[in-house]
């Protein structure tokens, strides 16, 4: 399943790039692999900066401050924070947050369209174990899983846009307690996705 998700992400990002190219837009993009947001530090996240110019022209920023990183246009993240990159001629990329929270709700990092499937992924640190996970849209419970981490919503509709979070019954090594994720905003786009929609913040 992870392979399929990765391929879908690459296809979606390729289509995104083609639409932007057709529209004549020159924008810098920050791609994340695995393609989930927010990215999590303990998932061996690789960031790749794509834009005009050469890899050596890439300037990286972490938490709003210029940040030097060997390796040019891509690297594996080893610190939590919010990252952006800049390329001459195409400007600064949208930010990518890399989280190190105890429990994180992740959604796909590509644009979500009506009719597609949305996979919600509730992750907790690898050294922890959880027996029960609850998923919410706003304050409405969507479902619960026993010994599972992913919940799928299909087919997506515009009304599925909103803020999602999850809550897990986690063993922290000493005792069991509820851990809750930070909310993540999901935007479902109509069938006719335009370059303007894709580049909107």
Provide the CATH number for the domain around residue 72.
2.60.40.10
Q: Which residues contact 139 (CB under 8 A, 6 or more apart)?
A: none
Q: Which residue has the higher pLDDT, 166 or 200?
A: 166
Looking at the predicted structure, is the pLDDT value of residue 22 above 60?
Answer: no
Q: Which residue has the higher pLDDT, 17 or 181?
A: 181
Q: What is the model's pLDDT at position 200?
A: 35
Residues 91 and 111 both lie in one domain: no
Are 95 and 13 within one domain? yes
Residue range 42-65: average pLDDT? 88
pTM as predicted: 0.74
* Residue 199 domain flag: no
User: In terms of residue numbers, what domain contains 29?
Assistant: 2-99
Query: Is residue 42 one of the residues assigned to a domain?
Result: yes
Which segment of 16-20, 61-65, 139-143 scores lowest on mean pLDDT? Answer: 16-20
Select, from the ranges 17-21, 66-70, 151-155, the one with the highest average predicted confidence (pLDDT): 151-155
Chosen domain end from 66, 81, 99: 99
CA end-to-end distance (rounded Å), the chain: 29
Is the predicted pLDDT of residue 14 greater than 80, yes or no? no
Q: Are strands 188-189 and 112-113 parallel, antiparallel or unpaired?
A: parallel
Task: Locate 39 and state its tokens.
Answer: 């990215």
Residue 186 CB neighbours (<10 A): 20
Q: Which residue has the tokens 């644009």?
A: 111
Domain boundary among 99, 115, 147: 99
Mean pLDDT throughout 86-108?
92
Helices (H) then strands (E): counts for the chain: 2, 20
Same domain, 123 and 86: no
Closest CA to 51 of 9, 6, 8, 84: 84
Of the residues 80, 99, 118, the one at which a domain ends:
99
Same domain, residue pair 116 and 176 = yes
Q: Could you give the number of structural domains in the chain?
A: 2
pLDDT digits (tens, 9 = 90+) for 111-160: 999 999 999 999 887 666 778 999 999 999 999 998 788 999 999 999 99
Dihedral angle sign, alpha carbons of residues 13, 15, 16, 20: positive
Confidence of residue 199 (pLDDT cuts 50, 70, 90): very low
DSSP state at residue 97: E
Taking the C-alpha atoms of residue 103 and residue 93, their distance in angstroms, rounded to an integer, is 27
CA–CA separation, 115 vs 117, rounded Å?
7
Phi then psi dihedrals of residue 107, to 5 deg:
-130, 160
For residue 159, what is the enclosing H or E element? Answer: none
Residues 9 and 89 in one domain: yes
């Amino acid at each position: 399943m992870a392979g399929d998700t990765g391929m879908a992400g690459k296809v979606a990002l390729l289509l995104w790039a083609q639409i932007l190219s057709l529209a004549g837009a020159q924008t810098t993009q920050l791609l994340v692999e695995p393609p989930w947001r927010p990215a999590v530090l303990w998932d061996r996240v690789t960031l790749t900066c794509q834009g005009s110019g050469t890899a050596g022209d890439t300037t990286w920023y972490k938490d709003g401050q210029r940040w030097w990183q060997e390796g040019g246009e891509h690297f594996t993240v080893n610190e939590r924070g919010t990252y952006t990159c800049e390329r001459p001629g195409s400007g600064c990329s949208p930010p990518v947050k890399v989280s190190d929270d105890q429990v994180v709700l992740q959604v796909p990092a590509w644009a979500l369209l009506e009719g597609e499937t949305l996979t919600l992924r509730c992750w907790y640190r690898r050294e922890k174990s959880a027996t029960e996970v609850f998923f919410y849209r706003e304050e409405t419970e969507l479902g619960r899983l026993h010994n599972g981490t992913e919940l799928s919503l299909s087919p997506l509709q515009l009304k599925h846009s909103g803020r999602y979070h999850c809550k897990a019954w986690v063993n922290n090594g000493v005792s069991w307690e509820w851990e809750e994720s930070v909310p993540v905003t999901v935007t479902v786009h109509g069938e006719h996705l335009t370059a303007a929609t894709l580049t909107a913040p």
